[in-house]
Structure 1
């Protein structure tokens, strides 16, 4: 059985999940990997067949999506060409972690495609969403990656096709300890803006990870680090708390390591708004922007960071087997008709 696993390369969350799941798929099927989105230095530890430009969002340095730049940055003709040339016809099944290219290609060539992403969980009416997340916003996600059937990930198993977060072995092997410093990873904010806020807490130490940094630098109470998976996990395992966006992987791994978190959802980012909504219900501190306007709330959290107790079951092999079995069952039913 030949399977194509298409993975979104924006950020590290989709890639880190794929890195963990690839060996489980590879034990069962002949597997190829394609990536979609911007180039990423994350080591997938598995050969990549191709990298698509796909559809990429542009972010400003103040925590939000730049819609005009996003529209100008994406070439519709290039996207259509990638869809037409995507080799989905060569595979029995395409597994899609939020990749628009292979999703549209499967629609075009009538190929079986299953979603496997945290974004897909938002299509379930059972997943809590803030009132301001409209049906139109969810429809946009469905239009961007048009897949009807699939599996989602969330902090809680809200529906039958929603699983707990994937916790990588690299994270499971960490022996957490409570330190005094805080880890900060806010990819949509500039180092300058982050430092402007953190300088208000001179008696606290912060480890800030950013793509703007190419080597370790110390500036007062702040240590700047380039993006490095091993170093980031090491610092997170020994910190007092984590300040991050309302993505999925970093909050989930921090919760697994019993680390308090404060999250700042990216502006105009549907999934992060929904994640923040759920995390807030669980007791996580959520602020709508990382700025000096929020100093009081940030100070309150730093002085008494709240811990969220959640247990995530290891479902890696069962997820893979469930997907493959569902594919076999669906093919059997089609052949019976």
Structure 2
């Protein structure tokens, strides 16, 4: 079997999910090629695992100070270039297309009649979730952006829907608390974030940002360049993490047993929904702005417990290798039930 795996690259969580899926797909004897869209090629990093991947422009958000600017986002879209990319992507060599909310591969599959599977956190928003507004066009718009023949959402709870647990790369480090706070706020101004943290001299902060070199902003504030090798190690050894409310990183923090202080991007339905679910689960402190009092209270909080998510990758890979004959709801239920988690509502996870 030969699969084209399309990955939305506006955020690193989609890429992390693909990293987690790749070994399971290969274990089933599936040959996988990758396409990515949503950022310029020179903005990718640590991509060796994906071999000779292709890049397309796709679509991405126009961000300013942690807010999605929808008029500018629409103005930046180039529908002509998108249509050209879809038409040029030849899928005759592939048996299936697997799309992680990547629109070029998804639409190419639809137009060329190649069977496709959508595997992404965004597809969970096609179903009623806490914190998700009842927008009549939400389900339609998600499917229209990156359509697929079969949809598998990904979330922290099953929600009585075809939704899988998070796809997280297995860690190879021992978890510990080395007394520093990890900070990853890529859509915020680095200068502003450093200024916000500067008065909290009794705590150490390690910020990852789009900088070409490491430097110390202050005695207690370190700034480090993005790194797929170093970041997971720091996540394993930090006391907690301050981040936006992207699904992938919050999942990794929960799995590592780290407390979370998160600021969802404004005007972004996905992150607003994630924030509501995290609050209901008692797994994060949510801030709407950079509030000193909220930070003070969060820093004083005790450590979090580790969340044990079942790994859905082997089941999904086996399902794909078998031609996706089992209903998607049955696939999702089997993964949750294998871990002893009730496939309904907001049942708590097993914590250690």
TM-score (norm 2): 0.86
Alignment of 1:155 with 2:156, yes or no, is yes
CA distance in 2, matches of 1:90, 1:23: 21
1:53 to 35, 57, 71: 57
The aligned runs of 1:198-237 (5 Å cut-off) are 198-211=197-210, 213-220=211-218, 221-237=220-236
- Indicate how the Cα distance of structure 1 residues 173 and 133 shifts in structure 2: closer, same or farther if over 3 A, else same: farther
1:174 maps to 173
Instruction: Kindly state the Cα deviation for residue 241 of structure 1 after the two structures are TM-superposed.
Output: 0.5
> Cα distance 1:288–1:326, how it changes in 2: closer, same or farther (>3 A)?
farther
1:107 lines up with 2:107 in the alignment? no
Q: CA deviation at 1:183?
A: 0.3
| Change beyond 3 A, Cα 1:290–1:206 | farther
In the aligned structure 2, how far is the partner of 1:329 from the partner of 1:254?
32
**How many Å apart are 1:260 and its aligned residue?**
0.8
Deviation, 1:326, is 4.7
Q: CA deviation at 1:67?
A: 1.9
Give the equivalent residue in structure 1 for 2:307: 310
Q: For 1:289-321, what per-residue CA distance to the aligned partner results, in whole angstroms no more than 9, with x for missing partners?
A: 342xx1111110011156255221123211211
Give the C-alpha shift of residue 179 in structure 1.
Answer: 2.1
Counterparts of 1:1-337 in structure 2, within 5 Å, are: 1-27=1-27, 28-38=29-39, 39=41, 40-60=44-64, 62-125=65-128, 128-130=129-131, 132=133, 134-159=135-160, 161-169=162-170, 172-211=171-210, 213-220=211-218, 221-291=220-290, 294-305=291-302, 307-328=304-325
SS of the equivalent of 2:71 reads: helix
Contact map agreement 2:264 2:288 (CA 8 A) in 1? yes
Q: Which moved further from structure 2: 111-120 or 304-313? A: 304-313
- Number of residue pairs the alignment of both structures matches: 322
Q: What is the DSSP-based 3-state SS (H/G/I as helix, E as strand, rest coil) of the residue aligned with 2:51?
A: coil
For residues 46 and 248 of structure 1, the distance between their equivalents in structure 2, rounded to whole angstroms, comes to 22
1:48 positional shift: 3.1
CA RMSD of aligned residues (A): 2.0
Q: Do the aligned residues in 2 keep the contact of 1:16 with 1:44 (CA within 8 Å)?
A: no
Relative to structure 1, the CA distance from residue 298 to residue 148 in structure 2 (aligned partners, 3 Å threshold; closer, same or farther) is: farther
Superposed displacement of residue 281, structure 1: 0.4
Please report how far the alpha carbon of residue 272 of structure 1 lies from its aligned counterpart in structure 2 after TM superposition.
1.0
1:224-278: CA deviations, max 9, x gaps?
1111122111211111101111111111111111111111111111211111111
Cα distance in 2 between the residues matched to 1:309 and 1:326: 35
The offset of 1:36, in angstroms, is: 1.6
Provide Cα deviations, 1:44-97, integer angstroms capped at 9, x if missing partner.
51213421111121211x111122322222211000101111122432110000
| Structure 2 spans left out of the alignment, 5+ residues | 328-352
Query: 1:184–1:243: 8 Å Cα contact kept in structure 2?
Result: yes
**TM-score normalized by the length of structure 1:** 0.89
User: 105-114 or 319-328, which moves further after superposition?
Assistant: 319-328
Runs (5+) with no aligned partner, structure 1? 331-337
Distance in 1 (CA, whole Å) between partners of 2:97 and 2:69 is 31
More displaced, 223-232 or 132-141? 132-141
